[in-house]
Amino acid sequence: MKETDNSYVSVWEDPQLIALRLNANEIEDVRKIGGGAFADVWLVKYRGTQLFASKRLRKMQETQQNTHRFVEEIKMASKFDHPNIVMLVGAAWTIESELQALSEYMVGGDLREFLIYPHTPRTWTDRKLQIATDVIEALVYLHSFNPSVVHRDLKSRNILLSKEMQAKMTDFGVSRIMSEENTMTQGVGTSRWEAPEVLAGKEDYNQAADIFSFGVVRSIRSR
């Protein structure tokens, strides 16, 4: 995997994205199921029967720069093949500003919802231990790339659960491939889960930042 550059390429001219393209006319919105500062996530039906999660930029965020970042996120996610990482199904658009990424629908919601559920035990259980193991397996996979992939925004909302309570990592919007210079962008991630070196504004952080974030997730789960 190579580090992508910042040059802008239209979605109509990007061969990697075109290879992932699905027919947007066969996608039907069902309901909104989530969202963040830059994007919303919808439950959609594809070809009338298949349920997927559709991520698309919010209208106010549909700038060329954000679209470029979204394209890079989609292309990065398309390279992953691991049981503990949410599978990208494809991308769809009719016009560039309506680009959406379709991924498997995780019916169990996210880890935060599971933890705040009143009937979830505060103590460690076999289920919680398995969720932790699933996240570790995903991190080992990402960090095993050469060069390594650093998620940079690992938190409970970015860990989704299947019907069988299998945990899968998602949201690679700020993930990066380690550069040869071993420097990373400042000011990414979510402060509550960020490692001290990231909060301090250092640029020489690495995979250890993900390990710290996992430790924070683990401590929240054990309360």
CATH label, 111-221, candidates 1.10.510.10, 3.40.109.10, 3.40.50.970, 2.30.30.140: 1.10.510.10
Query: Is 171 a catalytic site residue?
Result: no
Tokens at 89, concatenated: 């199904």
Q: Which of 14, 110, 134, 153 is catalytic?
A: 153
CATH architecture of 15-104: 2-Layer Sandwich (3.30)
How do the domains of the chain map onto residue ranges? 15-104, 111-221
Where the chain has pLDDT below 50, the residues are 1-5, 180, 183-189, 221-223
Looking at residue 11, its pLDDT comes to 87
Query: In angstroms, rounded to a whole number, what is the distance separating the alpha carbons of residues 206 and 196?
Result: 12
Tokens of 134: 């699933």
pTM of the model: 0.84
- Those residues whose C-beta lies under 8 Å from the C-beta of residue 209, and which sit 6 or more positions away, are 150, 152, 189, 194, 195, 197, 198
